Structure 1
Amino acid sequence: MMTHQDLERQLSDRCEKLDLKQQAFDGLAALLADEQNRVEDVFAGFDPRDIKPVFEGFKYVIDQPHRPAVIRTRIRLYGPHGTDSFPPIGYYELETDFEGNILDDFFVMEKERYVDDLAIISHFRDMNQVLPPGYLKRNYIQYEYVAYVSLIGTLFASKQFNAAYRFVQRARVYLQHTDPAKFDQQYLQKSRHFIKMVADYLEKNNLADTAWPDKR
């Protein structure tokens, strides 16, 4: 009678014979190299070159009503800090039948890289609580500045980092040429802090082209 260990050994030998581990790594490599996936932010803010794959193992799914038995080969994904003391950020899974034919594959990101941006967005909301309502009127001198700051927050939250940095530049230029006494001081202080938070964050993480000229 075949024991559980015998069955496990046979299945493991079959996976090795079908070279499923290498097939999974090849599938993942193709996905990471696809530029369109970067454009669509499939990698949740991570640079695909920084994603470190680590083979996790095989899973055999045999008892499935109306579906053939499958083998799932999983690769765990880690961020730029590697696997030491850092949890995985996602996984890639290749699903094949027991003949090695590919049925499907799955790429799942379980974490976003830029979780610290939540603090910036929170500050953005807090800052808007002290925004004088009159500044939203076009005939107020502060209207242009408020528009810049609002666009910084909106674009940053949408991960349009280059565009957000462009309006950081415009807001800074505006403040250089405008008397600070014309502003509500609480709003001015909070908005300046917000602009600095965004700029520091984008520069630190190399998320924006800081040399990009601001062509209006």
Structure 2
Amino acid sequence: MYSESDLLPLSALQHICFCERQCALIHIEQVWLENRFTAEGRLLHERVDTSKSEKRRDVRIAFGLPLRSLRLGLVGRADVVEFHRQKTPEGKTIWQPFPVEFKRGKPKKDNCDKIQLCAQALCLEEMLAFRIDDGALFYGKTRRRQDISFSEALRQETEQMATRLHALFDARRTPPPVFDKRCPSCSFISYCLPEKLDGSRSVSRYLDSIRGGK
């Protein structure tokens, strides 16, 4: 169990899954560089957060719901959590939580978005003492939902990523850059300098060299 002071941003899971260096730049060095993709994503989330709750027959919808897990050491907010009215075999009425995360682009080949959504579900399970088997990712580019099942494999991967995130924060060290196919779409490419730095040179030393320093 983590203490309140140890809690890390749940959103950082998506960043560390995409790139540990990007995650460190954002959450340890406190650097934020915006491009068209991040701006579109921010505007999408702002639109989602305009309402607090809605009720539609057998579904109650909460927007911007605060989340926390002392077991994983995470804190954040869910874009949307739907609560679906269901009947148990005993005839009891329950409200089944169903988290929905909004993304600006289209479904990804990796598990970054799925891990972030699964972390939200694990937080809700801890907070509500309620098993959550499914959620959804809504992509702005396709305007469609992608249903996600929280399998044991995905749960384990999410917990492992949370452990990696805490290890990164504990180390307080930004990993060296590695240039690959992810870099051209990253808003940090001009700051990260993955093609210029080989891991043995710092950003400051590289900037000194192009200014004529040694």
Do these two structures clear the TM 0.5 threshold for a shared fold by scoring above it? no
What's the TM-score once normalised by structure 1's chain length? 0.24
TM-score under structure 2 normalisation? 0.24
Please tell me whether Structure 1 or Structure 2 has the larger radius of gyration of its CA atoms.
1
> Which structure shows the bigger proportion of residues in strand conformation?
2
Instruction: Report which of the two has the higher share of helix.
Output: 1
Task: Answer 1 or 2: higher relative contact order, Cα 8 Å, separation at least 6.
Answer: 2
